[in-house]
Structure formats: structure tokens, C-alpha cells
Structure 1
């Protein structure tokens, strides 16, 4: 790959636009005074070294990076509750500004490591000065607990080069189950949590109104 800047530019644009659109969903829920299934959104373009490393492990030629390395452009959507994940996926399925290529449900079918998340691989049309370019991107949707576990597991995978000692592997699997049990417990009381969050927002809005009223005097 000689021109990495030129190759990655459409992916950077894709991440920026997808982040804006996903945050737009969150904003619309907030404006309607409803619980948003999206807590927050992050995004990144895979580092060059990581692209090369992944392609090497999967024996992908550099001429096939764009077609076969599906997570060069990636966004993560964090949700408060497991049920929110399905709502976000439904929103993505209904959109007509990109085409979903594949869905990978690692929540109902967790990986042997204990990894849980929902992946949506899509084809996104980027508008450039040379016309439209279709970019493959991946959106990962998970709860905050799932994301905490995945972040720790990812860090450890670098330390051990994906070859975890048995003890660490077992502890990670137990931690994954504990994180999922936390998600389940939170789901059982989500109605109460929603009510508490709405109450806090009402109190904050009232406080702002009171301050404005005092300042006008």
C-alpha cells in the first residue's frame, strides 16, 4: 500500500458521518423527553499497523483490504440496557442511507472467550470530489458492562499476544458472566431507573427556570 492517506480518507469520512447520524438518534430521543437507547457513541479508523497485522493473520492481500477487512471504519454504540441494543439495531435496519451486509449476534451466541456484543457490517456511500465511493464499516453495539469487559480483554490480548494463561482465561470468562448478570439485574429494574432519570432531568430543568427567573429580577 503506497498511498495510505488516500486509502484511509473515505474511512475517516465514513466514521465522522456515522457518528453524527448515531448521535442524531440520541438527540431526537432526548428532544422528545424519552429514554435514549444510545448512551454514547465512539468511532475510529483502524491504525495502519493493525490493518496490516489483521490482514496478515487472515492471509488477505493488500489489494483486498477494502473488501475483506470489514472493521477499518468502526463505530461503537454504548447502551444502558441489553434491551436497548435491539432498539438500536432496528433503527439501523430501517435506514436507507446505507446497506446492511451482515449481522453478527455475539450476545445470544457469545464467543468462547466470553466476548459479547452485536456487530452490524454495512456498506456506506461516501460522497467524494471524484464521485460516490462505497465503504465497508462496522458498528458494534453493546452495554456499558460489555464494553468494560471487552476493553480489559483487548488490553490483555496485547500483553499475551492472544495466548492467555489458563488462569487469566478462566478469570475473564467468570468476569464476562458477572458482567452479563449485572446487565440482567439492571434490566429487571430498568423502569425504576428510567423514572429516576426522568425525575432528575425535570429537577434540573426546573432549577434552570428558577435561576432564569431570579436573574430577571
Structure 2
């Protein structure tokens, strides 16, 4: 690739740390105004070198083209309580001027055959380095807690079976995906009651903490 991995990945690591702070700030603004937060929590990571090499081999991406062709070397995940929150988060991301959304993939309204559900946006983010500004691609996944639980389990099993799931495991995963979907639907139906209860609990906790 012509660059040492540490040098190559440094801007991605910097971008993940910067964006975690910025995206967590979205949650803080909701809380500050005593509103339900569309953002439950935010995580981020830079893909391990072994995973980068593995994906590059599968996708026939030359190492010299990683920056242009691999969109998820750096990735962030925004977790939401409700499916409707995902749309709010996407709108907030679209209204930001510190990065540009270049692609959106909706695996919620059109989930993958495996049962995977999430909404992905790919952004072009400017990182300030000692050698000047560097534009890098970053993938942000936005999903509910139920979607994330399923995806985390499926990801672990995928490593074990290298994508070749036994038929019984595949059927159970699809059944679990349907159960997660129904859970999201049920929670959406009682969304107002949940939010009122959470607001009451938060106020009660604030009073208790101030005593």
C-alpha cells in the first residue's frame, strides 16, 4: 500500500473520536431541552487490519484504492429506542454542515434476506491533519436496540461459520429477526407511555440527586 498501517489509519481513528463527541452532543441537546432523545447512545470503531485485508480480498479492492473504495474502514453506530427515531436522526445528520452524506442505504424498509435491519449512511468527513485536510469516507449505522441485538449475534455467528450458516441456525436467525421486528412495532405502539414514564423517572432522579 506504500503507507504504514498506523499512518494510514490515524485519520480514521481521529475522525471516529471527533464524531463520537459530536454525535453524542446531539443527545445532550435533547436532554438539555427535556425532550425525548432520538439518540440513545453512540459507539465507533476503526476496522481491524485483518478485517480490512479480508474484505479487500473478497471485494477485489486493491490496497492502493482502500481510501476510495472501502466505505467502512471507520464506522459509527447510533442506537435509537424507536424506529421513528431513526428518521429524526437521519434528518439531523442531513442538516449538519461539518460533513457530507454521499450515500444512504435503507435496510429497514427493505431488509436483507438474512433478516438484517438497519439504516446506513456514508459520509465524507474532513479530518485536519498536520499535513492539511484529508477527506475520508465513514459509514454511520442507525438502528434500534432490538435491531442491534440481532445484528450483534448474527455478526458473531458469521465469524464462526464464515457466512455459511447451517440451515437450522439460518432459520432461527430469521425467526429472531421477525421477533425483533415485532418488538420494535409493539414498542412504537406504546411510545408515548414509555416516554412519559422515562421523563417522570428522569425528573425524580434529578430531584433525588439534588437532595
CA distance in 2, matches of 1:203, 1:31: 16
Residue 158 of structure 1 aligns with which residue?
159
Deviations 1:146-187 (A, max 9, x none): 000000000000111100111111110010000010000000
Deviations 1:110-131 (A, max 9, x none): 0000000000001000011111
Query: TM-score, structure 1 length as denominator?
Result: 0.95
Greater Cα shift, 199-208 or 99-108 = 199-208
Residue 54 of structure 1 aligns with which residue?
55
Greater Cα shift, 177-186 or 1-10 = 1-10
Segments of 5+ residues of structure 2 without an aligned counterpart are none
Q: Which has the larger radius of gyration?
A: 1
CA distance in 2, matches of 1:156, 1:32: 41
Secondary structure (helix, strand or coil) at the match of 1:124 reads strand
Secondary structure (helix, strand or coil) at the match of 1:113 reads coil
- Structure 1 segments, 4+ long, off by >6 Å, are none
Secondary structure (helix, strand or coil) at the match of 1:179 reads helix
Residue 5 of structure 1 aligns with which residue?
6
Deviations 1:73-101 (A, max 9, x none): 00000000000000000000011110111
Residue 107 of structure 1 aligns with which residue?
108
Following superposition, the deviation at residue 202 of structure 1 comes to 1.2
Residue 65 of structure 1 aligns with which residue?
66
CA distance in 2, matches of 1:195, 1:87: 19
Query: TM-score, structure 2 length as denominator?
Result: 0.98
Q: Is 1:132 equivalent to 2:113 in the alignment?
A: no
Deviations 1:59-85 (A, max 9, x none): 000011111110000000000000000
Aligned residues: 210
Following superposition, the deviation at residue 55 of structure 1 comes to 0.5
Residue 118 of structure 1 aligns with which residue?
119
CA distance in 1, matches of 2:50, 2:43: 20
Secondary structure (helix, strand or coil) at the match of 1:112 reads coil
CA distance in 2, matches of 1:146, 1:205: 31
CA distance in 2, matches of 1:171, 1:208: 44
Residue 214 of structure 1 aligns with which residue?
none
Residue 76 of structure 1 aligns with which residue?
77
Residue 16 of structure 1 aligns with which residue?
17
Secondary structure (helix, strand or coil) at the match of 1:138 reads strand
Secondary structure (helix, strand or coil) at the match of 1:132 reads strand
